[in-house]
Amino acid sequence: MSKKQRTVMLIDMQSFYASVEKAKHPEYKNKPLVVAGDPARRSGIILAACPLAKQKGVKTAEALWEALQKCPDLIVIRPHMQEYIDVSMQIVEIIESFTDLVEPYSIDEMFCEFTGSMHLFANNPIHLAKHIQTKILSETGIYARAGIGENKIISKLCCDMIAKKISGGIFDLKKEELDKHIWHNPVREMWGIGSRMEKHLWKMGILTIGDLAKTPLSTLRNKWGVNGEVIWRTANGIDNSPVSVDTHRMQKDIGNGMTLPRDYRTGSEIEVVLLDLCSEVCRRARKKGLMGSVITVSISGADFDYKTGFSRQIKVVDPTNITLDVYETAKRLFYDYWDRQPVRRVGVSLSDLVKDDIYQLTLFDNKERQRAIDKVMDNIKDRFGEVSILRASSLTDAGQAVDRAEKIGGHYK
């Protein structure tokens, strides 16, 4: 008996942030609109551009001032991250009414498998995708596209290279037709290929996805090991991985970073930011019941033309989620590697995570008192809000805790 052909879709929301804003503001329906960060805080970057703005040449990730030069009548809206998260969750719930196998890939992309449920809703994958597309549009105002294939890789390639570019936004790509629809594309357009890898492949005479697919696997494995096999399998549409609701639930690290509102030039200013970030990272770790034994500090310099900065980590003896422990280690890392040049971005993360229900007791440090203080501060913030209790340093000119409390992922809620 032959194995049943899988039906997997990658469902993607068109210009997601901009689409949410247009659904909320019907008066902007026929106007070019972008969602962009706050120019006053050096985050004036285009996060999303609607199709009308893209027709004017506006591109995602370009500076807002460049976009305005291309399209002076551009509608610019500051991001509302909590709304985008809420709409994304609503879309997941809509898809879950058709299948219980929904794997969020990003805030606006979801892998879904309908192998066992499609017969309940439609006669073929195209009809099912249209049904889902219509339901998402009617309930959220968001236009969805769907790439269909027998596995996640094919559905992703199909969505990115075909469905997003055709009228109707839906395409069913058969594995045996990769050469017809995918292989002629430049290798850079393939999922998983960055600019550096592209240059390496060019030197080998590999210019298209088809060139990559036809390259002997042994050649790629000898050059890049497992990564060589991964890109070869992607080009050939080979993927046995399941669509799993648990794929992204195994957290590897907990971190936070921020671009500063101005160049920070003194160690004392940067210490304040480090403490704010360590407080936030450790609170999130405690909330998840986790500790970490690897602490990473990342610094970016202020000079865009001459890049400076570093990313360094250190493994501590015992896992921790105590704010002052992490802060003291982060501060030591910072001073060991800082070149004394102005800083524009700071990041802190905690990794090598373990459960915090068992930890090492020590005779020489009063860790229990520090844990109790952290717990009291967590409880106060949970009850009364993020800025209900702060360290005094957070209220100085260098502190960012108050501003960050109004944001999600660096953008206003």
Give the span between the Cα atoms of 173 and 232, in whole angstroms: 18
109 is catalytic: yes
**Residue 41, number of CB atoms within 10 A of its CB:** 14
What CA dihedral angle connects 56, 59, 65 and 66, to 10 degrees?
Answer: -70
Residue type, 402: V
Neighbour-count burial of 277, counting CB atoms closer than 10 A to its CB (0-12 exposed, 13-18 middle, 19+ buried) = buried
* Residue 64 near residue 39, CB atoms below 8 Å: yes
**Catalytic pick among 109, 150, 269, 280:** 109
Phi, psi of 354 (to 5 degrees): -140, 165
Give the span between the Cα atoms of 206 and 198, in whole angstroms: 9
Give the orientation angle of helix 217-224 with respect to helix 226-235, to 10 degrees.
140
347 pairs with which residues across the strands? 257, 298
* Residue 97 near residue 64, CB atoms below 8 Å: no
Q: Which two tokens mark 59?
A: 């591109």
In which residue are the tokens 């236009």 written? 143
The SS3 of residue 110 is strand
Please indicate if the annotation marks 108 as binding a ligand: yes
What Cα–Cα distance (Å) separates residue 122 from each residue in 115, 118, 329? Answer: 12, 6, 57
Residues annotated within the binding site for Mg(2+) are 12, 108
Residues tagged active-site? 109
Residues annotated within the binding site are 12, 108
